[in-house]
Structure 1
Amino acid sequence: MQYEDEKIAALRIKEKKKHYNNTEKGIYIGEQLYKFSESLLFGETLHILLPDGFLQMPVEKIRGKYPSEFRPQVIISNESGMVNFTFSKFEQPASWEQLPDLLVNLQTAILNMNPSVLVFHRKQIEVKDKSVPWMDFKSYAMDGALYNYLFLYLSDKKPVLGMFNCPFSEREGWQYLFTKCLETIDEVMDLNERG
Structure 2
Amino acid sequence: MNYLDEQILSLKAKVMDQATANNDDLQSIPFEPLESEQNASISEEAKVFHIGNDHFTLEPRTILDGQIAVHVPKSFKLMPLEEATFKYPSEHRPKVIYTSSEGTINITFNPTETSLELEELPEFMEQMADVLRSVQPIRNWIGAELIVNLSGLSIGMVRFIAAGVDGNLYNEMLLFIREGYLNLGTFNCMESDMEAWLPVAKHMVQSLRIVPASSYPTSEKGVAPL
TM-score using structure 1 length? 0.81
- 1:23: Cα distance to partner? 7.2
1:61 paired to 2:83: yes
1:117-128 aligned at under 5 Å gives the runs 117-127=139-149, 128=151
Map 1:73-152 → 2, pairs under 5 A: 73-127=95-149, 128-152=151-175
SS in 2 for 1:91: strand
94-103 vs 65-74, which moves further: 65-74
| Structure 1 residue 166 corresponds to structure 2 residue 189 | yes
* Rounded Cα–Cα distance in structure 1 between residues aligned with 2:205 and 2:156: 11
SS at match of 1:165: strand
Moved more, 175-184 or 94-103: 94-103
User: Aligned pair in 2 of structure 1 residues 16, 107: CA closer, same or farther (>3 Å)?
Assistant: closer
1:107, CA displacement in angstroms?
1.5
SS in 2 for 1:90: strand
2:202 to 162, 176, 179: 179
Spell out, residue by residue over 1:116-137, the C-alpha distance to the aligned partner (whole angstroms, 9 max, x if none).
3532121122212333220211
> Which stretches in structure 2 are left out of the alignment for 5+ residues?
1-34, 216-226
Find the partner of 2:52 among 30, 50, 59: 30
C-alpha separation between the residues in 2 aligned to 1:60 and 1:36? 26
Please, which runs of 5 or more residues in structure 1 have no aligned partner? 1-12
Equivalent pairs, count: 180
Question: 1:5 maps to which residue?
Answer: none
Percent of aligned pairs with the same amino acid: 25
Pick 1 or 2: higher relative contact order, CA cutoff 8 A, min separation 6.
2
Computing the radius of gyration over CA atoms, which structure comes out larger, 1 or 2?
1
Offset of 1:168 from its aligned partner? 0.9
* Cα distance in 2 between the residues matched to 1:15 and 1:139: 26
Matched-pair contact (CA < 8 Å) for 2:40–2:196: no
More displaced 10-residue stretch of structure 1: 78-87 or 124-133? 124-133
